[in-house]
Amino acid sequence: MEYKDQQLTEEKVFKDPVHRYIHVRDRVIWDLIAAPEFQRLRRVKQLGTTNLTFHGAEHSRFNHSLGVYEIVRRIMMNFQDRVNWDNEDRLLCLCAALLHDLGHGPFSHSFEKVFKLDHEKFTQRIILEDTTVNQILNKVSPNFAQKVADVIAKTYSDKLVVSLISSQIDADRMDYLQRDAYFTGVSYGHFDMERILRVMRPMDDQVVIKSTGMHAVEDYIMSRYQMYWQVYFHPVTRSAEVILSKIFQRAKYLYENDSYTFKLKPTHFISFFSGTVDLQDYLKIDEMIVYYYFQLWQEENDEILADLCERFINRRLFKYVEYNPDPQINAGMELYQLFKEAGINPDYYLVVDSSSDLPYDFYRPGEEEERLPIHLLMPDGGLKELSRHSDIVESISGKKRTDHKLYFPKDRIQEIKDESLKQRIVDILYR
Amino acid sequence: MEYKDQQLTEEKVFKDPVHRYIHVRDRVIWDLIAAPEFQRLRRVKQLGTTNLTFHGAEHSRFNHSLGVYEIVRRIMMNFQDRVNWDNEDRLLCLCAALLHDLGHGPFSHSFEKVFKLDHEKFTQRIILEDTTVNQILNKVSPNFAQKVADVIAKTYSDKLVVSLISSQIDADRMDYLQRDAYFTGVSYGHFDMERILRVMRPMDDQVVIKSTGMHAVEDYIMSRYQMYWQVYFHPVTRSAEVILSKIFQRAKYLYENDSYTFKLKPTHFISFFSGTVDLQDYLKIDEMIVYYYFQLWQEENDEILADLCERFINRRLFKYVEYNPDPQINAGMELYQLFKEAGINPDYYLVVDSSSDLPYDFYRPGEEEERLPIHLLMPDGGLKELSRHSDIVESISGKKRTDHKLYFPKDRIQEIKDESLKQRIVDILYR
Amino acid sequence: MEYKDQQLTEEKVFKDPVHRYIHVRDRVIWDLIAAPEFQRLRRVKQLGTTNLTFHGAEHSRFNHSLGVYEIVRRIMMNFQDRVNWDNEDRLLCLCAALLHDLGHGPFSHSFEKVFKLDHEKFTQRIILEDTTVNQILNKVSPNFAQKVADVIAKTYSDKLVVSLISSQIDADRMDYLQRDAYFTGVSYGHFDMERILRVMRPMDDQVVIKSTGMHAVEDYIMSRYQMYWQVYFHPVTRSAEVILSKIFQRAKYLYENDSYTFKLKPTHFISFFSGTVDLQDYLKIDEMIVYYYFQLWQEENDEILADLCERFINRRLFKYVEYNPDPQINAGMELYQLFKEAGINPDYYLVVDSSSDLPYDFYRPGEEEERLPIHLLMPDGGLKELSRHSDIVESISGKKRTDHKLYFPKDRIQEIKDESLKQRIVDILYR
Amino acid sequence: MEYKDQQLTEEKVFKDPVHRYIHVRDRVIWDLIAAPEFQRLRRVKQLGTTNLTFHGAEHSRFNHSLGVYEIVRRIMMNFQDRVNWDNEDRLLCLCAALLHDLGHGPFSHSFEKVFKLDHEKFTQRIILEDTTVNQILNKVSPNFAQKVADVIAKTYSDKLVVSLISSQIDADRMDYLQRDAYFTGVSYGHFDMERILRVMRPMDDQVVIKSTGMHAVEDYIMSRYQMYWQVYFHPVTRSAEVILSKIFQRAKYLYENDSYTFKLKPTHFISFFSGTVDLQDYLKIDEMIVYYYFQLWQEENDEILADLCERFINRRLFKYVEYNPDPQINAGMELYQLFKEAGINPDYYLVVDSSSDLPYDFYRPGEEEERLPIHLLMPDGGLKELSRHSDIVESISGKKRTDHKLYFPKDRIQEIKDESLKQRIVDILYR
């Protein structure tokens, strides 16, 4: 029997707190899960530093990837009488779901920002270059790896396949909302996924939702909104992210500064500092490795690097105040000067962080990060864009909400000896 | 106001998936949670290698420690009208609950076994020696740290206090059963804790259970039984533990062998290898550090060390068969020889692992690991040991169940070139 | 000890699926629960005919009343250090919570509409007139019954007390949303009540919400919105309500029609038909009694009454189409004539039903059914009306949504012999 | 298309709190659910008087019947590749599951005992005699109704079909344990049904369980044990049952006593009193009807009947003490005399009630109510009876536990004027 048609002699299951069980029958899927590049996702947390705010959130991207696979598997079962896909098409959906986050590095957001990397590119490379995952995909058919990569890159010709893992209501989002809610323990993030799966219909190049299921979709959109503001953009988590970025930034700075010598040579980081990362370097770095360096760097001679690492490891985070980005109003420049006067390097200890979210939006061509809008399938067979039919969604549609905060180490300010200087800083911060 | 009586201006809460919220009012507790030695527990998983079997089980000992604190806090609220404790007594219970696992190292079980360590001793040392935790406890009262250490060591004079965190139905067990069930996602591990808390009564030197709550206690005992065999002793988890032990054993062997030079000097491990661990060494090692070494050791020259590390990191675990420890029946010695012949070092690749559990037992003086039995408070005011009143508990009481398995790398056996030798090994293993 | 201060020797609990346990310590509460007028609530379903749509929704008003009591009990515990209430004040809140729905009759909505009754008036009368409940309240203090009645009528002087059970975020609503979600099994209706309780603050004459809890309140408002449209206004439930109203209307009509003699004399209904209901009559009628009559009336000689009762008992409900109330557009009058021609009495078999909901609204003086708005307590100590701070709430605030449907027996139309007449009716209904 | 092969144009679902959704595709099933005999189950509570103890337990047999159907539907999906059944065989399983409780009358246990009825016989009759259900089944095939009746009667030739709804681990039990736990709110009753369904295998004439699922089955057996003693045999529920039986007994006695005339003629009961019940009489009586009579009988002239009805309606139940059935020890006869002396009719006011349960038993031929034992399918393909493989089950296997209680109205005893007589009664009861 061809490799792509091989079934396990007995279905295997993974116990999963969110979907109860994750079912695997295809040999290809089983082999991919066992591949080292996929196992590596066990060492990358799904929510980066969120566990410093919500202590339950220690789940890995390995978890989430299995979950997305499982949701797509269930959608495929519902679709089997409605689409004309052969077994390779089916496998394509499952593999793309399983592997869509394969390129995530440690603490993705901060890491990528400082080192100018893009995890999506690494997902492509892991799938297409010399890896165990690539070997497995090649056994399915000669251009299968490329197809999987295309689906994940959203460039695949059959947009219906793409929309399963990349639309405003895709398996990716449905999994992470529920999973992150479960592990953090918050009461948001619940919606009736079983009903949504039942009202999904494949239609030409997209997945549409029968209009009888509109309320379940509204509930999903609201869950998403709440999770963003209550969990993903939680100000304490962002404080940890700020410190993380500053550690990477400082270490890079020191590396580039010839006069500084690290006590511990940052072997794993060198190609990142120098912008010469190859695939093997990338695969070798995970959150365990990063934590190792941070722990050791607490004893570096550079006070800023040592201090920031100690803060991160011992969770002595920065405090924050609301910040108005309008330069007329805010006193950013003034604070910058005052911090300098106080001997607190503002490049590392005075940080503006902004978060913004667009809870739901219909398609606006040319915009970055566009996701396909949600279309309802009306009783008369026509399609209607969700926000035209739902008051709730209409009311939040296209409203980008942005939140700016100013982060700083309150303890350092309290230690300022010059009382008048200290008072001026405090007055500006808390006025 | 004295330090021990200081309250936070506003109650703080941690969102917890198991207890919904963990409430902190005492400044002492707040400060202890922020101490580096307590934050370190974030980097030690509650269930060691179990996440390789149940992917959700990535929760840390930090989680569990907060949970035990919260349960004791609730018990104290129920007890407040029934015991004559002052505020320091109350704090003592809370601190002992919070800190009871403070000395756990990475992958406790295997780590301690190979390096002959005892995490309980380190818990004592962290509380009593020069640490942030110790400084905080000292501010409560001069001998407070010692008291906390005594409660955890079960040597404290007021046995009622001891029994809160160390009996057959203590806050420790009630938290971990529920927490481990939640994060693994298994359906065992649930029992009606709210009811158990409500029927607990302080009585002289122990906590007893009103007999009307007996069924809730039965349910708890059965949960415990199921969790042990379904989760804690899962054969796949034990396979990972076997490999872990063998890695530590091999690394120690190589270190002691003068002719071998590590590519990466095992700095963090040296005092463990040489048996000269001091408190600072111990506090520096956590699971992040261990993972770092394992990843690097995959490239060591020693084939056994490199292979075992690669297996652990990529989850290429050993397979197992049932094993009868009776030397008359088992063919352990024969297999040992055959493995040698096949060039597979049996000291590292042929391992017997045994697990055993005593679901519930009444007191048997002199036995190791004795925990106080559960006493029911009968309507007539008398006490009755649980197994004398419950058929279910009686039936499993004192029955130690042991399970032996033989672990080995199936892939290596399949690669044996000498077909007849391979066949002999296979025949013995699977006869 | 005075009656009002008497405590049960041991706290009693009721197992409750929503709040886990309902705790009773006060003898007054215990006695009220045992009173026949309160036990009667076991025979009135919380959601009337909703169980014909959601089969799990068979829970009684007894359930809900205990739940509201329990929520107020928990609020009181949080408030105890923040308000200056004596024990009688505390009991007043608890009693008002427990008894607020005491006057509900069978299938409240339809029953009250047809017989022009008001359950709130009967709540008052049961509390104030000659009943066991009244006797118990009188033992607390001479004017205690009146106070309880005033709180429920929202006329009590201390508006803080009133707002606990009657505001836009009161114990009544918090219980029913969660309870109705639990018993129907829908995934809406969940919100973080524990958090809302923790951020509630008594302030002058109202309960306000600390602004840090705003998101939990948003979630509650959205739950309410979804429960209304997904459960409370479900078109199938409304179909059953339509039939119910028509049964009451027809029975009353027949009673008033001297030429008709009931096979079964409608003893329990006579005072309702004649508008001379006294308290004893009212207390004697419950849903069991109504069902008894409906079952017997299936065999009445009046075809309409018998048919409607058979439909209700056997769940042969009316079908529906959307209905535009604009007389320019709808063909109501035309259908009315056509039904007559077809021999289907349109007064009973052609019914427009409208539902409308105002998800959240701030105070508009003079409006019927006004509930107090929700005020947030800002960090600076000021108050802010919720919709001015929450985008989500602002977007749905004050937006009354109304839905009109036309109900009719599809089976009767299909049986029309005159094919052309039948076709005309079908064309209008489904055009 | 033949009736039996007709599918609904779109799958219909019922929202169910226990199984989330109940799915219906077959026209036959849809029609059966709409039949008046099946709708009647809405008016019979699943747990009779248990709602007087656990107020949430107001769910109907309609609920449970849908649940059993749904479980069998899921089992059939798992079995479809493993058995050789045609569509009629499949429908047979589904119909038998749906209809297995069709003959339950109001408050089954007490009602049947007093009137010497057997609900299983009525299930047969409703299926086989002149009913809507029978007409529907006849349309499937000429002997289909008989087949369904045979499956329910356990006399059908294919024992595999029988075992789906009638064995020690059948769909009936799996539904009611979970459902009753959900509605009462107790924490027992949970087990991993999804796993049990996955390890069920059809094998010759029975369903066996793959041995890898043994622990899930153990958990199920323990759930069953706990539900029996914590819920089904709860002493307060039994008190209500005792009163119920005595009401029926007294009413029958009065009916048979020519000198007594009922104020309200007990029309619905007459054929029950006289032992001449026909199917139409039986179908007309439900719990609504019974409640109606009880409410009216509160005003009967017979003091015993009126008192017992008032107690039942207002939940003024009997109290109880433990009772030793050994005539040497108990003082039953003495109490009987003393009650008589005190003017409290012991035939109605002094009642021994016994409950007993056999948590699990293997087959013992000739015993009443035997259910097939559970067989494990071992890795070697052999079968092993569960209790031979599970320590837990072995320990409770075949152990019949019986509990005897003596019920009486404590209030009546307290009202006895003769202090010495009162004291003698109290002394015996509470010695």
Which residues in chain C touch residue A187, judged by CB atoms under 8 angstroms apart? 190-192, 195, 216, 219
| Cβ(C136)–Cβ(C31) below 8 Å | yes
Contact B184 A15 (CB under 8 A): yes
- Chain position carrying tokens 């290429």: B316
CA distance A28 to A134: 12
Say what percent of chain C tops pLDDT 90: 79
Mark yes or no for CB contact D194/A21 under 8 Å: yes
DSSP, collapsed to helix, strand or coil, labels residue D118 as coil
pLDDT of D368 reads 46
For residue D25, give how far its alpha carbon lies from the nearest alpha carbon of chain A (Å). Answer: 14
- Say yes or no: D21 contacts chain A, CB-CB below 8 A: yes
Distance CA D179, CA D64 (A): 7
Q: How far apart are the first and last CA of chain A?
A: 73
Share of chain A above pLDDT 90, in %: 79
- Assess whether pLDDT exceeds 70 at residue D367: no
pLDDT band (50, 70, 90) for residue B368:
very low
C-beta of residue A48 within 8 angstroms of C-beta of residue A241: yes
Residue contact A20–D198, C-beta within 8 A: no
DSSP, collapsed to helix, strand or coil, labels residue A155 as coil
Give the gyration radius of chain A's Cα atoms: 24
Would you say the C-alpha torsion D387, D388, D389, D394 has a positive or negative sign? positive
Facing residue for A194 by CB, picked from D20, D195, D198: D20
Flag the least confident range among B36-45, B197-206, C343-352, C395-404: C395-404
Residue of C186, C192, C230 lying closest to A187 (CB–CB) = C192
Angle between helices D87-99 and D119-128 (to 10 degrees): 140
pLDDT in tens, D73-83: 999 999 988 89
DSSP annotation string for D33-77: HHSHHHHGGGGSBTTGGGGGTSTT---BHHHHHHHHHHHHHHHHH
B71 touches B171 (CB < 8 A) = yes
Q: Is the confidence at residue C115, as pLDDT, over 70?
A: yes
Instruction: List, for residues C270-316, the tens digit of each pLDDT value.
Output: 999 999 999 999 999 999 999 999 999 999 999 999 999 999 999 99
- pLDDT of B250 strictly over 90: yes
Q: In this predicted structure, what is the pLDDT of residue D365? A: 47
| pLDDT recorded at residue A57 | 97
Which range (B147-156, B188-197, D365-374) has the least confidence?
D365-374
CB D351 within 8 A of CB D148: no
CB contact under 8 A, B225 and D392: yes
Task: Say yes or no to pLDDT of A401 above 50.
Answer: yes
CB of B315 within 8 Å of a chain A CB? The answer is yes
How much of chain C is helix, strand and coil, in % rounded to 5? Answer: 55, 10, 30
Cα(C182)–Cα(D57) distance, integer angstroms = 13
Structure tokens at D416: 């006895």
Question: Could you tell me which chain A residue has the CA closest to the CA of D20?
Answer: A194
Question: Is B55 within 8 Å of A291 when comparing Cβ atoms?
Answer: no
**Contact predicate D188/D156, CB 8 Å:** no
* Distance of residue D74 Cα from the nearest chain A Cα, in angstroms: 15
pLDDT at D243: 97
Structure confidence at residue A108 as a pLDDT band (50, 70, 90): confident
DSSP class of residue A103?
A: T
Give the pLDDT confidence of C324-342 residue by residue, as tens digits: 888 777 778 899 999 999 9
Read off the tokens for C346: 């349109």
* Separation in Å, CA A268 to CA A120, A273, A301: 21, 10, 19
Distances A83 to A161, A200, A201 between C-alpha atoms, Å: 11, 12, 10
Structure tokens belonging to residue A280: 């093997």
Helix (H) or strand (E) holding B337: helix B332-341
The one-character DSSP state at D239 is: H
Tokens representing residue B29 in the block? 């507790």
Cα–Cα distance measured from residue B115 to residue B282, given in angstroms and rounded to the nearest whole number: 12
Contact B291 A34 (CB under 8 A): no
Contact C84, C145 (CB under 8 A): no
Q: Can you give the pLDDT at residue C370?
A: 56
CA distance readout (Å), C201 to C67, C205, C388, D282: 21, 11, 19, 57
Find residues 158-197 of chain A whose CB sits inside 8 Å of chain D. Answer: 194-195
Cβ within 8 Å, pair D187-B190: yes
CA distances from D197 to B11, B113, C132, D193, D194 (A): 46, 41, 52, 6, 5
Q: pLDDT category, A369, cuts 50, 70, 90?
A: low
Q: Is the pLDDT of residue B246 over 90?
A: yes
The three-class DSSP label of residue B145 is helix
CB pairs under 8 A between A and B: 99
Q: What residues of B are in contact with residue D219 (Cβ under 8 Å)?
A: 187-188, 222, 226
% of residues, chain A, pLDDT over 70:
97
Q: Is C240 exposed, middle or buried (0-12, 13-18, 19+ CB in 10 A)?
A: buried
> CB C391 to CB A396 under 8 A?
yes
In the block, tokens 């009012």 appear at B25
Q: What does the alpha-carbon distance between residue A101 and residue C425 come to, in Å, rounded to a whole number?
A: 57
pLDDT of A372 higher than 80: no
Structure tokens that stand for B8 in this block: 């936070």
A77 touches chain D (CB under 8 A): no
Disruptive mutation site among D52, D292, D293, D410 for chain C (greatest number of C CBs within 10 Å): D292
Interchain CB distance below 8 Å, C15 and D56? yes
In D, minimum Cα distance to B185 occurs at: D192
Domains of chain B: 3-223 (1.10.3210.10), 234-312 (1.20.1250.30)
What pTM value is reported for the model? 0.94
Q: Which long-range contacts (CB under 8 A, 24 or more apart) does D309-317 make?
A: D309/D247, D311/D243, D311/D409, D312/D240, D312/D243, D312/D244, D312/D247, D313/C36, D313/C39, D314/C34, D314/C36, D314/C39, D315/C34, D315/C39, D315/C42, D315/D52, D315/D240, D316/C34, D316/D411, D317/D52, D317/D236, D317/D239, D317/D240, D317/D243
Confidence check: pLDDT of B431 > 80:
no
Confidence at residue B365, expressed as pLDDT on a 0 to 100 scale:
47
Q: Please say if the pLDDT value at position A361 is more than 70.
A: no
Q: What angle do CA C269, D295, D289 make, to 5 degrees?
A: 80
Residue percentage of chain D with pLDDT more than 90: 79
| Bridge partners, C198 (sequence order) | none
At C43-73, the pLDDT tens digits run 999 999 999 999 999 999 999 999 999 999 9
Our CA-based measurement puts residue B399 at a distance from the nearest CA of chain A, in whole angstroms, of: 29
Subunit partners of chain D (3 or more CB pairs within 8 A): A, B, C
Q: Which residue of B has its CA nearest to C198?
A: B11
- When pLDDT is averaged across residues D124-151 and rounded to a whole number, the result is 97
CA–CA separation, B419 and B416 (whole Å): 7
Which residues 253-292 on chain B approach chain C with CB closer than 8 angstroms? none
pLDDT-derived band at B362 (thresholds 50, 70, 90) equals low
Cα first-last separation, chain D: 73
Alpha carbons A47 and A58: distance in angstroms, whole number: 8
User: C54 is written with which tokens?
Assistant: 């959601």
Nearest residue of A to residue D15, measured between CA atoms: A195
User: With an 8 Å Cβ cutoff, are A13 and D198 in contact?
Assistant: yes
The region of weakest confidence among A202-216, A397-411, B125-139, B260-274 is A397-411
Closest by Cβ to A215, choosing from C216, C218, C230: C230
Tell me the per-residue pLDDT of C341-390, one tens digit each, with 9 for 90 and over.
999 999 999 999 998 877 676 554 444 455 678 999 998 899 999 988 88
Say if residues D171 and D68 touch (Cβ distance below 8 Å). yes
Using a CB–CB cutoff of 8 Å, tell me whether B314 touches chain D. no
Asked if the C-beta of C20 comes within 8 angstroms of chain B's C-beta atoms, the answer is yes
Residue of D nearest to C61 (CA): D55
pLDDT digits (tens, 9 = 90+) for C378-419: 988 999 999 888 878 887 777 777 889 999 999 999 999 999
Q: What's the token pair of residue A286?
A: 């995970």
Contact indicator for C289, C268 with CB cutoff of 8 Å: yes
Per-residue confidence band for A368, with pLDDT thresholds at 50, 70 and 90 = very low
A406 beta partners: A321, A352
Q: Could you tell me if A223 lies within 8 Å of chain C, comparing CB atoms?
A: no
pLDDT tier, A360 (very low <50, low <70, confident <90, very high otherwise)? confident
Tell me the backbone φ, ψ of residue C15, rounded to 5 degrees. Answer: -75, 125
Average pLDDT over residues A312-318: 98
pLDDT-based confidence at A264, cuts 50/70/90?
A: confident
- C-alpha distances in angstroms, A217 versus A386, C222, C229, D74? 9, 13, 14, 27
Residues for chain D: how many in total?
Answer: 431
Closest CA to C188 of C234, C214, C219, C153: C219
Tens digit of pLDDT for each residue in C97-114? Answer: 999 999 999 998 899 999
Report how many Cβ contacts below 8 Å link chain A to chain D: 10
Q: Which residues are B404's β-sheet partners?
A: B354
pLDDT higher than 60, residue B150? yes
Please tell me the distance from the alpha carbon of residue A386 to that of residue A397, in angstroms, as a whole number.
10
**DSSP letter assigned to residue B60:** B
Task: Please state, in angstroms and rounded to a whole number, the distance separating the CA atoms of residues D97 and D74.
Answer: 12
Q: How confident is the model at residue D273 (pLDDT cuts 50, 70, 90)?
A: very high
8 Å CB contact of D219 and B188: yes
- Decide if B219 and D225 are in contact by the 8 Å CB cutoff: no
Residues A133/A35, Cβ–Cβ less than 8 Å = yes
Nearest C-alpha of chain A: how many angstroms from D11? 10
Contacts of B105 (CB under 8 A, 6+ apart): B44, B111, B112, B117, B119, B122, B282, B285, B286
Q: Which of C13, C21, C194 sits opposite B20 (nearest CB)?
A: C194
C198 interfacial to chain B (CB closer than 8 Å)? yes
HSE (CB half, 13 Å, CA atoms) of A63?
33
The chain-wide mean pLDDT, for chain B, equals: 92
Residue C384 sits at the chain A interface (C-beta within 8 Å): no
Q: What number is the average pLDDT over the span A381-399? A: 84
Establish, for the pair of chains B and C, how many residue pairs have beta carbons separated by less than 8 Å: 10
pLDDT average, residue stretch A29-40:
98
